[in-house]
Structure 1
Amino acid sequence: MSAEATNPGNPEAADRWRGRPRPALRGLRRIGRAALLGPAPRDGLPDALEHVAKVHRHHHPDADLDTLSRAYQLAESSHRGQMRKSGEPYITHPLAVTLILAELGAETTTLTASLLHDTVEDTEVTLDQVRAEFGTEVCYLVDGVTKLEKVDYGTAAEPETFRKMLVATGNDVRVMSIKLADRLHNMRTLGVMRPEKQARIAGVTLDVLIPLAERLGVQALKTELEDLVFAILHPEEYAETRRLVEKYGGHPDPLAAIAARARTILVDAGIDAQVLVRPRHFVSVHRVLLARGRITGADLGRLLVLVAEDADCYAVLGELHTCFTPVVSEFKDFIAAPKFNLYQSLHTAVGGETGEIAETLIRTHRMHRVAEAGVIALGNPYAPTDGADAPEGERADPTRPGWLDRLLEWQRTTPDPDTFWTSLRDDLAQDREITVFCTDAAADGPAGTIGLPAGASCVDAAYAKHGEAAHGCIGARVNGRLATLGTVLHDGDNLHLLMAQDSAGPSPEWLDHTRTPAARLAISRWLARSQGTGEPPAAPAGRHGERRRAPAHRPAGPDRAGAASGLVLADLPGATVRLAGCCTPVPPDTVTGFAVRGGTVTVHRALCPAVARMAAMGRQPVGVRWRGAAKGGHGCRVTLLAEAFSRPHLLPDLTEAIAAQGAAVVSAAVEPPHEQLVRHTYTLHLPNASGLPSLMRAMRQVPGVFDVVRAATAVRTGNC
């Protein structure tokens, strides 16, 4: 692994030839010179470890450096005589990886494992020896990194390689932290590799390691890896971007003037804040160029405002929006709703006096550490409280991101490496994640929220929240409105998933709406199982232990006009009274009548749209009223519309509920389903009008039915 990643003999000349940005190398050169002199301790600390220790003490003043010193001495003696292709002692590689992690604030256990991460693979040191000298926790990390490196990175091996990588990451995110730092140092020293090998390593880094760095929140590693990969895979675009940056580098920085004015404003407001100009890395500049077609000096960086407390962030926001012209569309609050990778900040943009737009990040110092170092900044998530070593095996990690739990779950249920690899790449290719708020119960992440990739649908949300139980999802309400399962969700949407225990399961059309591997794989497995038996699994039994069925017959009701004559009196002597079929009034509805041809009076509910239309046409109403006895117990006819999610056995279940209420089905019509929504229209005869409310309640309780309304007031929902 690392033995192949070598330093060029003349790194500065190589970088000039490649046009690649060089990180600060002073500390690494000092490490290299000290390593050449051997491990000679000074004041108990090897010279080569001095710079690492200084950086580590900056983040952890009380750190025990004795453990680091012993780890370095074991690593140096074990690797002694091994050289990199650049001619440097091999020990410079684990030292450089450890320095990268120390600069990000990693705790002592991670740094100890980093110093030893190649010893078990490349030397005679054993895991038992590491465990005996440094404890179970360090041994666990070294073993995790070693397992990742035992598999070749060739194309054929990639699926299984990264399955193991994911499992190792899931058991302890610090394993991946060491791996990312290892890859960064190797990418920095890739100059003497053959071009085709550089491209292969850069491609794997781009496809998997950079997205994982993003998801672990380690932005400092991610951005440098992006620039190094950019220079290798797209040298012409990289050179053009670098030329633009250098062109504007010779001009006054417009962001500096805005930053100076912002400092004055915040001082006058009594807010203690640091205002910095944060340069964009080359890939970020290139993205701006692609999005806007051109760049200005203000596009080469962003303002970064650092404060002490969360409340100060909002105070800064208020002052900047008051004293500058804000670009409202650019405002995002990732403090109230943190991103999936622990990131928190307020994002906004303000206009300067000469028209430049300054993108601005506002965060606390703690948020800034997490934004730069992600999970590395969180320390040891498994630190025992009683001084004992943490147990081996699968461990509960309070810092493990929800997305990682989801990936671990579906990789466990996807035995085929190629399917897993394709799904992993698809998932990692999602460059933005949204947060959806759940009103029914808590999900991954903060209570009541689900993290999803941009473009995800209600189907994705169902499987992210419920796993395999999402097979029973029959619909959703988004922001209070009924929505199909294919509805695309947006950041901040309020979601309520509708579940049914006797659902027929997912349909193949669900796959058209999936964006996440978890949903796609779960649906595909269910469909494969159902196709294996020739038909989908049978629907569960009904409430009484046997399958629901429709009534054997549908009795016809009495003649509508004959029934009306016994129920309604009209103020038109000798007129025949008929109940309108459009709204099917029943006692005690408020009613009105209109005379039609043949001396007939048609009775409508007062709220029927037909009443308004006839009044607008100048038609005069006829007074009508229910007979006194009608309110007490005469039969009536009514038309009800049931709106539901399409599923097998819905029609018999509804007719069973109707029959249980003593109503007779005069006629029924079912519209073809559209996007899983279906509408049933029933004309029913009730023995007693007072039973209508309980009938409608019983119909609404049938699984899959979301509303039952009288015909005249029915409103189409969705696209049905």
Structure 2
Amino acid sequence: MSAEATNPANPGPITPGSPRRRGRPRIDLRRLGRAAFLGPTARGRLPDAIGHVAEAHRAHYPDSVLEPLHRAYVLAESSHRGQMRKSGEPYITHPLAVTLILAELGAETTTLTASLLHDTVEDTEVTLDQVRKEFGEEVAYLVDGVTKLEKVDYGAAAEPETFRKMLVATGNDVRVMSIKLADRLHNMRTLGVMRQEKQERIAKVTRDVLIPLAERLGVQALKTELEDLVFAILRPEEYRQTRELMTAYAQQTEDSLAGFATELRSVLREAGLSAEVLIRPRHFVSVHRVRRKRGEMRGADFGRLLVLVSEDADCYGVLGELHTCFTPVVSEFKDFIAVPKFNLYQSLHTAVARADGEVAEVLIRTHQMHKVAEAGVVALGNPYTPSGEEHLDTAGERADPTRPGWLNRLLDWQQSAPDTDTFWSTLREDLAQDREITVFRPDGGSIGLPAGASCVDAAYAQYGEDAHACIGARVNGRLATLSTVLGDGDTVQLLMAGVEGSAASEPSVAWLDHARTPAARIAIRRWLATHPEGPSAPASAPRAPYSGPSARPSAANAVVDQPGATVRLAGCCTPVPPDEVTGFAVRGGVVTVHRVSCSGVARMKDAGRAEVGVRWADAEAAEYRVTLIAESFSRPHLLADLTEAIALEGVAIISATVDPPDQGRVRHTYTLQLPDAAHLQGLMRAMRNVPGVYDVGRTRHAAAGAL
């Protein structure tokens, strides 16, 4: 239990319907306490103590039935009667305040009912069975989830396992975490009576875990107030300076943002666009960050303009007018409507400059987008009963259509983490990543990853442990190594080994150097732990030249228009029938034969070398030699698979060499004896079909060396 205290950082109540969050004055907890202590009112009337909750709830759900809230309040008030907070108010004021926060965010009736009851099973004689009997399975499920989180011991030794349970509870129903976040917000508001060291300890856990979770659930209204409260406790001097700066700005007679807003309203009105233009002041932490980034603050730096419209298309219409009538700051434009952020957030971001050089940031979104931007998953109502029936997945568990991709990833790797210490360290690491990127798959799907993630991370995000078989990637159409760092908006095609009849790939210790996500790191470590001998010897290791079945090298079927000349096929382009060829005389009475398309031919012509007429003779009856280069990603058994593919084509290997690996890629060079020229294209196709091989071509070395 905690007591109310004066809160210097409090920016006002949370009212998502009001972009400035200043719509309703702070509720007087003492007055609520007196009303709560008096108990229920006359039959058929809501108790005065929850009148504010009902008012806020009806603003979002005009037709909602309030009777469950009435019964939940009566049970909560009677069960908590006699319990007092340290500030002297009846304890019932705490669940009332938590429920009011959620009601203003737009939570549905089931969540509010569970919020009123969230401390009853933990702190009173009310049982979970009683809650289930009185209010149904859904409310009991939420109360039970919050009750488990209430047992958190914030001591360092208890944190890992506690927050593992918290994560599991969040994953099963995001409304559990919504109630927990509102509970933490009210307790942070009333933290002043605690000892300083306890305030700091709770503020640090809030900063490290709960604020990032609020961000990921998209509940910006809770996140920003929690940030300010933590800022005031942990960095009081910087908070004081920021507060003085904001106070000085508020006392200025000229408001540059107000002037910007007036101009923008005029522009949109003339364009026939119906829109609401509002000034959205920055909160304390946001002002502090801008000040550190830009140094001296200008008037427009203390807030942003928010433009609210009715339809998605209107957002782009507003953007067009803005960029036509003002000077856009191109680097500040972001389209989170076409590509929503990982936490459901949608909006257009831009910045424009007036003729006087003043720059204002502008957010453009629909009213519904704004509601979700402020309240996140809370604004989406009950995700499980859209038609009055609970949705279950194939395993009989709840299927959450609102659960963000990041939460799915955390749930996956927390189940795979070998111990709580690993879980805790990776949880904090993941939550500390304050920016995510979106990369796209060729099939049109997308993958959310933390900034700085590589192709290794993308592979494990898409395929789970099947990503052990990943051998490379194409990024924006170009071949890339698994270590390639991805950027926001990149298109990634992951190349996988392990097709039927071929050897699978295996991860290596080096992959850990490129993995940023917990899912990837834990999966790789687990594989390495179960394979202490390590991956098989990579095919990319340097090898001695391989000599296959012998064959007499010759150019028996080049007919040369130069009697007595010895014919040699050029090594730079290795011509074979039916290539169009030409020849050049070199020292010793030798004529080298090149493909006409060989780059060496042009150089020799430019140097004044005379061509010698050559042609193929009896091409179908002879054997031909060719040198092929296979470009591939490094993986075990690749040389064996390529050799097998060549042998199955009935082609003899004269020699084979493998260059040392470079960035996970390796080059194989084969000199081959073909039974006839018609085999060449089929052979090259067979080699390209070997997993890991991304290109096969004939040698194209510098021609000068052959002459």
Q: TM-score range by the shorter chain?
A: over 0.9
Q: Deviations over 1:611-654 (max 9, x none)?
A: 22222322222222222x12x24211111000111112111211
Distance (Å, rounded) in 2 between the aligned partners of 1:71 and 1:684 = 83
Q: How does 1:554-569 map to 2 (within 5 A)?
A: 554-559=548-553, 563-564=554-555, 566-569=556-559
1:709 aligns with 2:697: yes
Give how far 1:387 is off: 6.0
Contact residue 348 and residue 361 of structure 1 kept, 8 A: yes
Deviation at 1:385, TM superposition (A): 2.7
1:323 equivalent to 2:325? Answer yes
1:694 equivalent in alignment to 2:682: yes
Q: Which deviates the most, 412-421 or 377-386?
A: 377-386
Residue pairs, 1:23-42, within 5 angstroms: 23=13, 25-29=25-29, 30-41=31-42
- Aligned match of 2:368: 366
**Aligned residue type for 1:405:** N
Deviations 1:575-609 (A, max 9, x none): 22211112111011121211111121111112222
Alignment of 1:448-597 (within 5 A): 448-501=445-498, 502-531=503-532, 534-536=533-535, 554-559=548-553, 563-564=554-555, 566-597=556-587
Residue type at the aligned position of 2:604: M
2-structure distance, mates of 1:620, 1:247:
86
* Alignment check: 8 A CA contact 1:333 1:346 kept: yes
Give the equivalent residue in structure 1 for 2:17: none
Paired with 1:635 and 1:168, the residues of 2 have a C-alpha distance of 70
Which is bigger in relative contact order (C-alpha 8 A, separation at least 6)?
2
The change in CA–CA distance for 1:572 and 1:477 in structure 2 (over 3 A counts) is same
- SS of the residue 1:294 aligns to: coil
Aligned to 1:261: 263
Tell me whether 1:434 sits opposite 2:437 in the alignment. Answer: yes
Alignment partner of 1:413 is 2:416: yes
Question: Does the residue aligned with 2:700 lie in a helix, a strand or coil?
Answer: helix
2:228 corresponds to 1:227: yes
Contact preservation (8 Å) 1:475, 1:645: yes
Tell me the distance in 1 between the aligned counterparts of 2:429 and 2:391: 38
Are residue 654 (structure 1) and residue 642 (structure 2) matched? yes
Q: Is there any run of 5+ residues in structure 2 with no aligned partner, and where?
A: 14-23, 539-543, 703-707
Which residue in 1 is equivalent to 2:297?
Answer: 295
Partner SS state of residue 463, structure 2: helix
Contact 1:41 1:47 in 2 (8 A): no
Q: Which sits farther off after the overlay, 244-253 or 575-584?
A: 244-253
The 2-side partners of 1:41 and 1:74 are apart by: 16
RMSD: 2.1
What is the deviation of 1:538? 11
Distance change in 2, residues 1:356/1:695 (3 Å): same
Tell me which moved more, 167-176 or 566-575: 566-575
Q: 1:155 to 1:304 in 2, by over 3 A?
A: same
Matched with 2:18 is none
Aligned to 1:213: 214
Structure 1 residue 292, shift from structure 2 partner: 2.2
Check whether the contact 2:645–2:686 (CA below 8 A) recurs between aligned residues.
yes
* Number of equivalent positions: 680
One-letter code of the match for 1:403?
W
Aligned to 1:543: none
Q: Which one-letter code corresponds to 1:667 in the other structure?
A: S
Rounded to whole Å, the distance in 2 between the matches of 1:450 and 1:640 is: 37
Offset of 1:247 from its aligned partner? 2.2
Paired residue secondary structure (1:276): strand
* Letter matched to residue 694 of structure 1: G
How much does 1:71 deviate?
Answer: 0.5
Q: Secondary structure at the match of 2:62?
A: coil
Post-superposition shift, 1:552? 10
CA distance in 2, matches of 1:576, 1:685: 20
**CA distance in structure 1 between the partners assigned to 2:397 and 2:536 by the alignment:** 34
1:276 corresponds to: 278
Q: CA deviation at 1:32?
A: 3.5
Change (3 A) 1:7 1:643: same
Partners of 1:475 and 1:499 within 8 A in 2: yes
Following superposition of structure 1 onto structure 2, how do residues 125-140 of structure 1 map, counting pairs within 5 Å?
125-140=126-141
Q: Secondary structure at the match of 2:661?
A: coil
8 Å contact kept, 1:137–1:389: no
Assess, with a 3 A threshold, how the Cα gap between structure 1 residues 585 and 400 changes in structure 2: closer, same or farther.
same
Residue 240 (structure 1) aligns with:
241
Match of 1:547 in 2: none
Q: 1:607 and 2:597 equivalent?
A: yes
Q: CA separation of 1:552/1:296 partners in 2, compared to 1, >3 Å: closer, same or farther? A: closer
| Same amino acid, percent of matched pairs | 72
Q: Return 280-289 or 340-349, whichever deviates more.
A: 280-289
Partner of 2:612: 622
For structure 1, which runs of at least 5 residues remain unmatched after alignment? Answer: 441-446, 540-549, 715-720
Measured after TM superposition, the shift of residue 353 of structure 1 is: 2.7
Indicate how the Cα distance of structure 1 residues 92 and 510 shifts in structure 2: closer, same or farther if over 3 A, else same. Answer: same
Q: Quick one: which amino acid aligns to residue 26 of structure 1?
A: R
Alpha-carbon distance between aligned partners in 2 of 1:359 and 1:601, rounded to the nearest angstrom = 72
Q: CA deviation at 1:228?
A: 0.5
Relative to structure 2, which stretch is displaced further, 313-322 or 705-714?
A: 705-714
Q: Distance in 2 between matches of 1:371 and 1:477?
A: 34
Question: d(CA) in 2 for partners of 1:411 and 1:220?
Answer: 28
Q: Does the CA-based 8 Å contact 1:551-1:659 persist in structure 2? A: no
Q: Which amino acid aligns with 1:414?
A: A
Distance 1:626 1:106, change over 3 A: same
- Give the 5 Å matches for 1:81-92: 81-92=82-93
Who is 1:634 aligned against?
A: 622
Query: Which shows bigger deviation, 284-293 or 694-703?
Result: 284-293
Cα 1:388/1:557, change in 2 over 3 Å: closer
Tell me what 2:425 maps to.
422
Specify the code of the residue in structure 1 equivalent to 2:420: P
Q: Using the alignment, how far apart are the partners of 1:415 and 1:147 within structure 2?
A: 23
Q: Quick one: distance in 2 between partners of 1:693 and 1:211?
A: 56
The answer to whether the 8 A contact 1:530-1:537 is kept is: no
Q: Which amino acid aligns with 2:431?
A: L
Q: CA deviation at 1:558?
A: 1.4
Q: Helix, strand or coil for the counterpart of 1:45? A: coil
On the 8 A contact 1:75/1:91 being kept in 2, the answer is yes
Q: Is the 1:551–1:656 Cα contact (8 Å) retained in structure 2? A: no
Please state whether the residue corresponding to 1:403 is helix, strand or coil: helix
Partners of 2:537 and 2:658 lie apart in 1 by: 23
Question: 1:582, 1:390 → 2: CA distance?
Answer: 64
Q: Deviations over 1:455-508 (max 9, x none)?
A: 100000000111011111010000000000010011110110001113231000
**Equivalent runs, 1:62-77 vs 2, <5 Å:** 62-77=63-78
Partners of 1:504 and 1:537 within 8 A in 2: no
Matching of residues 330-349 of structure 1 within 5 Å: 330-349=332-351
Give a deviation string over 1:212-231, Cα, whole Å, max 9, x none: 00000000000000010011
User: Are 2:675 and 1:671 aligned?
Assistant: no
Do the aligned residues in 2 keep the contact of 1:437 with 1:493 (CA within 8 Å)?
A: yes
How far apart are residue 255 of structure 1 and its match?
Answer: 1.5
Whole-angstrom distance in 2 between the partners of 1:20 and 1:94: 19
Map 1:177-196 to 2 at 5 A: 177-196=178-197
Work out whether residues 546 and 655 of structure 2, in 8 Å CA contact, stay in contact via their aligned partners in 1.
Answer: no
User: TM-score normalised to the size of structure 1?
Assistant: 0.91
Aligned partner letter, 2:285 = V
1:155 Cα deviation from its structure 2 partner: 1.1
Inter-partner Cα distance in structure 2 for 1:75 and 1:676 = 63
Displacement after TM superposition at 1:153 (Å): 1.5
CA contact (8 A) 2:146 2:179 kept: yes
Secondary structure at the counterpart of residue 495 of structure 2 = strand
Inter-partner Cα distance in structure 1 for 2:10 and 2:168: 34
Report the Cα distance in structure 1 between the residues aligned to 2:670 and 2:336, rounded to whole angstroms.
50
Q: Which stretch shows the higher mean deviation, 662-671 or 226-235? A: 662-671
Q: Which residue number in structure 2 is paired with residue 350 of structure 1?
A: 352
Compute the displacement of 1:154 (Å): 1.2
Question: Is the contact between residue 218 and residue 374 of structure 1 (CA under 8 Å) also seen in structure 2?
Answer: yes
The answer as to whether partners of 2:242 and 2:284 remain within 8 angstroms in 1 is yes
Distance 1:137 1:432, change over 3 A: same
> What CA distance in whole angstroms lies between the structure 2 residues aligned with 1:57 and 1:535?
62
